[in-house]
Amino acid sequence: MKLPAKLDDVTQLNAVEGRGDMLVYEATLSLRMADLGGKDKAQQKLGDQVLKSACASKDFQTIFRNGYTVEVHYSFPDSAEGVTLSVSPRTCGYEH
């Protein structure tokens, strides 16, 4: 996959980087943080979505089985402050 890549109508994946036992995704949303109800609500909404999709993904299952944590950093057009979410193997039911 060539980056940046549009993942859906509102999400662009800009970079993926390995940092020790973490796989870090850098993404930009075209939605404003204010449209999601502010930082706390954005964190909750995106967290629920990331957790559900990461734990169900066959690719991520392989990553989790090997002991890696997935971290997603979201940036927004209306805020210098982003949202960072982490999903560990344990969160998805994997023990390493």
- Among 60, 51, 62, 59, smallest CA distance to 85 is for 51
Query: What pLDDT score was predicted for residue 48?
Result: 94
The predicted-structure confidence for 21-68, as pLDDT tens digits, reads as follows 999 999 999 999 999 999 999 999 999 999 999 999 999 999 999 999
Share of the chain above pLDDT 70, in %: 99
The pLDDT of residue 2 is 95
What is the Cα Rg of the chain in Å? 13
* Amino acid identity at 91: T
* pLDDT exceeds 80 at position 96: no
Q: Region 68-94: what's the mean pLDDT?
A: 95
55-59: long-range pairs with CB below 8 Å, 24+: 55/87, 55/91, 55/92, 55/93
User: pLDDT band for position 95 (50/70/90)?
Assistant: confident
Distances (CA, A) of 58 to 4, 55, 62: 22, 8, 7
The average confidence (pLDDT) of the chain is 94
- State the residue for tokens 């969160």: 91
User: Taking the domains of the chain in order of start, what are their residue ranges?
Assistant: 10-82
> Rounded to the nearest 10 degrees, what angle do helices 39-56 and 58-65 cross at?
90
Q: Which of 80, 18, 17, 11 shows the shortest CA–CA distance to 50? A: 11
